[in-house]
Amino acid sequence: MSRTRVVIADRYPVVLRGLSSLLSAEGGFDIVASCGDAASCIEAIRTMVPDIAILDPTMPGLIPLKNSSVANPDSRSTRVVFFAPGEGYELVLSSAFDGCSVVPKEASPETLMRCLLEIASGQTIVPQSSMDQVAPAVNGVNSENALAVLTDRERQIMRLVSEGLSNKEIGRRLNIADGTIKVHLHHIFQKLEISNRTALAALVISQHDWVAPVKSPEPG
């Protein structure tokens, strides 16, 4: 299985170290460069052409990267991921590169890993609103009312989605079929008026007291 080559760039050494440790522990990622400034980041992307570049959107000097194709001779381009704080989503989205993804710094490690795997497979992840907007309300409905429209089973599935579990893993945990999980997720998306698992996970992360941890079913 091919590994995902990653460049990390952030102004803060503790973030660089944390991301490096997390990605190294996952096993499917190779960190080809870890950069503390825009100049070294841009050079690393242009010379190494990683699969993914995880960038601090507040880092000064990223404009040259925005104005370049950042591709190698085989036209394999790097997928740009802004690792952004929730309160800065609107600012990031307004100045984001075409085709880039945005992942919240408030996300759990499991959610971050799942997002990066989806991005590496060709998907683009962009939040519909900031974490501050998602937390208190879903399309104008406050969080308590939004939760009230969900069944206990749907709340369990929400919690497991936020932990980064796949449908198959959720099915095993709850002892129900994968197809049933898909149906439940469809109903959850409709009720909360959101469109993807990332938005759902962000909602649970920001309102972690909503849903109690899910216990595995008793054997037998």
Query: What's the pLDDT tens digit per position in 93-127?
Result: 545 555 678 888 878 888 888 888 888 888 887 76
- Torsion-angle region of residue 23: left (phi > 0), alpha (psi -120 to 50) or beta? alpha
For residues 91 and 151, what is the distance between their CA atoms, to the nearest angstrom? Answer: 35
Backbone φ, ψ for residue 97 (5° rounding): -70, 150
Give yes or no for residue 133 having a pLDDT over 80: no
pTM as predicted: 0.55
Per domain, the residue ranges of the chain are 4-120, 131-206
pLDDT in tens, 144-178: 555 677 888 888 888 888 777 888 889 899 998 88
Q: What is the mean pLDDT of residues 51-59?
A: 87
What is the second-level CATH architecture of the domain 131-206?
Orthogonal Bundle (1.10)
CATH fold label, 4-120: Rossmann fold (3.40.50)
Q: What is the mean pLDDT of residues 5-23?
A: 91
Top pLDDT among 207 and 112 is at: 112
Least confident of 80-94, 159-173, 180-194: 80-94
Q: 36 near 9, Cβ under 8 Å?
A: yes
